[in-house]
A and B are shown apart, each in its own frame.
Chain A
Amino acid sequence: MSLLSVRDLTVKFAMRSQTVTALHQISFDLARGERLGIVGESGAGKSITGFALMKLLSAPGYIDSGTIQFDGTDITQAPEAQMRQIRGNRIAMVFQDPMVTLNPVLTIGQQMVETLRAHRKLSRRDAQEIALTKLREVQIAAPELRLKQYPHELSGGMRQRIIIAMALLLDPDLIIADEPTTALDVTIQADIMELLLKLCQANKVGLILITHDLGVVSQLTERTLVMYAGRIVEAGKTREIINDPQHPYTQGLINALPQQTLPGQMLKQIPGAMPVLTDIPPGCPFSPRCAFALAECRRLLPQIMQQGSSEVACHEVNRLHSDLLLEEGR
């Protein structure tokens, strides 16, 4: 049985004049210890997905329908008291900016001990010992010293290491990491990515990695969801999505990278921009930017369907596949 099973998750935001849908019937599964990437540009709904899984959406956002089965229980129905037992304990979250997660007026040690003692019956001394072990696991220099320091005394890379140590504090089953390396320099990013991968593998922790960076997804995850305008447009094995993308948006995203074009040549850009939530075009939301769009695409929303080893929501891909099937049948 999978650790996490999301079915038809729909998230809406009740604005003053209208209600907008930020997530449209998202479905996916995550096996125990599996690493899943969620890729997309700003406004695609990837962070909303992360928050919804933690039930941390704040008003005016709310889960409208759908289920989130986490280890057998539907957490969309779970009361807040039960959620507090799950958050931090079974599912931990890592954000882009560690200064948002860390309390600036408490030392690192106080914050780690407080977290441990909120979930476990532990003496201060034992909690401190566990905190120290976790800091060693994230390979921080002088861990004893760090426990006594305040967040502002540490560098960005060190803070992110501490956040990862805190995420691992209660041996969770799942870590949701929302752009964990985006604010870091590349040399630090490479270290943090390597650390995250090693720790997830060693402790059999599942990972949902939310990012816009295809390189990061490629190196850390086994499966990937590509999101566009609040929908999953492509899902499958990371390697296959990177090497053989099916959806025109995924193709466009990969082809737009500078390394896909010879130096000095024009990049293969996707025209236009992601639609805003209040103004989603009819039919396929990508159709106004898509080179393959036909009348059907502008009218009918494509359903996500199995195509080979990936799932794709695209009329054009469906057309190609049915043509192929016809030819094979002849």
Chain B
Amino acid sequence: MKDTMTAPEPPLLELRGVEKRFALDQSLLERLRFRDGRLRMDRREVHAVNNVSLTVNRGEALCVVGETGCGKSTVARLVAGLLAPSAGEVRYAGARIDNQSRRDLAPLRRRMQMIFQNPYASLNPRMTIAQALEEPVRYHNPDLAPVDVRAKVLEVMQAVGVDPSWRDRYPHEFSGGQRQRIAIARALTVDPEFIIADEPLAALDVSIQAQVLNLMLEAKVARGLTYLFITHDLSVVQHFGTRVAVLYLGTVCELADTATLFAAPKHPYTRALLSAVPQMRDGMPDHIRLKGEIPTPITLPKGCPFETRCAYADQRCRVEKPRPQQQRDGSLVACHAVEEGRVD
């Protein structure tokens, strides 16, 4: 809904040209290299995220999808402030957050919570469920009376189906699905507006996945949550996401509304990815075969990151990085072949 009286509201989250590189060689000796008859200092880097620009509007569920090593978890960690970008800006509700101190970030943590993939690792094994859920409430509301802390936690527990009788039990007593429920409850106790979920379903069984996904959908509607949802599972994307960003080798190759992306994928990589999902239909689908393997993010291809495996790659793709171009249906696609109309 657009309010014509005031200036347009900034997107809740904005990434502007964000890059993240990890140094591969830490020590001095690792960096010394003998080449062309001389000793040189050399620094190899993993280019995990390259020039990523994204916006997440209030009430949206933006899914970031891609295969192992494409940088999707790094994006989540950059947004959550667990990593600092090597270049670019992360803005939250219009204000820059990537260059702030831990202290300045504290109020923000309350508005932004994270859910991780592994519910076995994300709960402290030595804390009871009550302790784990009460700690964030007390931390963010130091003036709240213990009675009120407990009341708040109880309310959230009931809302997400964590049995209040679990209060005094420890994480090891619960199954993966129950733990993920507890982890979601912990994220919701501080009434956040934005949830970063990094593969929250990947470790769960099919019937449990449905329970947890329903819980996240419910919370979205009931609490007006905005999600940044990291996943490799395209059927989850199609169900949960309002928009999708497809990541390949740390670069966004396609960004579109979920319905548009699944109905008319444009980037050759998106097409290959969608065609490879096993379907419950007769016979093998004729999936698009990609040649070769994902190149290492240490030495990126000079041109388009997908050029080495793309059936449409030509000379231009090998030397020039494609820029995201707006398509007629509103999606953004970074591909020379699409731009030149070489992909039908």
Is the beta-carbon distance between A266 and B259 smaller than 8 angstroms?
Answer: no
Q: How far is the CB of B197 from chain A (nearest CB, A)?
A: 15
Q: Which residues from B are CB-within-8-Å of A273?
A: 175, 177-178, 207-208
Is the beta-carbon distance between A259 and B235 smaller than 8 angstroms?
Answer: yes
Is the beta-carbon distance between B277 and A263 smaller than 8 angstroms?
Answer: no
Q: How far is the CA of A219 from the CA of B209 in the complex (A)?
A: 22
Is the beta-carbon distance between A215 and B280 smaller than 8 angstroms?
Answer: yes
- Report if B217 contacts A (CB, 8 A): yes
Known contacts A41-B205, A216-B278; A197 and B211 CB within 8 A of each other:
no
- Report if B234 contacts A (CB, 8 A): yes
Size of interface on B: residues with Cβ below 8 Å to A = 44
Q: Which of A155, A189, A190, A218 contacts B280 (CB 8 A)?
A: A218
Which of A67-75, A250-258, A320-328 binds B?
Answer: A250-258
Chain B, residue nearest A197 (CB) = B284
Q: Which residues from A are CB-within-8-Å of B325?
A: none
Is the beta-carbon distance between B280 and A269 smaller than 8 angstroms?
Answer: no
Within 8 A of A (CB), among B289-312: 289-290, 292-294
Q: Which residues from A are CB-within-8-Å of B276?
A: 186-187, 189-190
Q: Which residues from B are CB-within-8-Å of A306?
A: none
- Report if A185 contacts B (CB, 8 A): yes
Q: Which residues from A are CB-within-8-Å of B316?
A: none
Chain B, residue nearest A185 (CB) = B67
Q: Mark A42-77, 1 if CB is under 8 A from B, else 0.
A: 100000000000000000000000000000000000
Q: How far is the CB of B209 from chain A (nearest CB, A)?
A: 7
- What would be 11 A-B contacts, judged by CB atoms less than 8 Å apart? A41-B205, A191-B289, A193-B284, A197-B284, A215-B279, A218-B279, A257-B210, A258-B238, A258-B240, A263-B259, A264-B240
Which B residues fall within an 8 A CB radius of A? 67-68, 175, 177-178, 205-211, 213-214, 217-218, 232, 234-236, 238-240, 258-259, 272-273, 275-285, 287, 289-290, 292-294
Which A residues fall within an 8 A CB radius of B? 41-42, 141, 155-158, 185-187, 189-191, 193-194, 197, 212-216, 218-219, 239, 242, 252-254, 256-259, 261, 263-264, 266-271, 273-274
